């Protein structure tokens, strides 16, 4: 079984509208591993690891976000498995503090 690991940057009105919690719930529903966090510049950063189809579907969902958000752009790049170490111990998907 192949595995994709992508780091994603989401820009727009994505903080203060429940975007991180929404990402966590969607990623968990897809069975993905990774993390999500707010960035001080107002963007949201996330890392998704799992089957390529589920990761691609999650990125497509990020382009729309929850109803109260406005997503201007979503960019992604391949990440290494080392990036998963940022998760909290024992969690498959973590909401991390603002960076």
Catalytic residues: 20, 38
Distance from C-alpha of 36 to C-alpha of 95, rounded to nearest angstrom:
5
Count, residues in the chain: 99
CA distances for 90 relative to 31, 66, 68, angstroms: 15, 27, 31
């Amino acid at each position: 079984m192949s595995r994709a690991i992508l780091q994603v940057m989401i820009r727009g009105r994505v903080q203060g509208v429940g975007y991180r919690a929404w990402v966590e719930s969607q990623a968990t529903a897809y069975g993905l591993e990774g993390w999500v966090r707010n960035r001080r510049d107002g963007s949201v950063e996330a890392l998704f690891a799992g089957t390529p189809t589920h990761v691609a579907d999650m990125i497509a969902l990020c382009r729309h976000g929850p109803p109260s958000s406005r997503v201007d752009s979503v960019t992604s790049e391949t990440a290494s498995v080392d990036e998963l170490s940022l998760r909290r111990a024992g969690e498959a998907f973590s909401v991390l503090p603002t960076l």
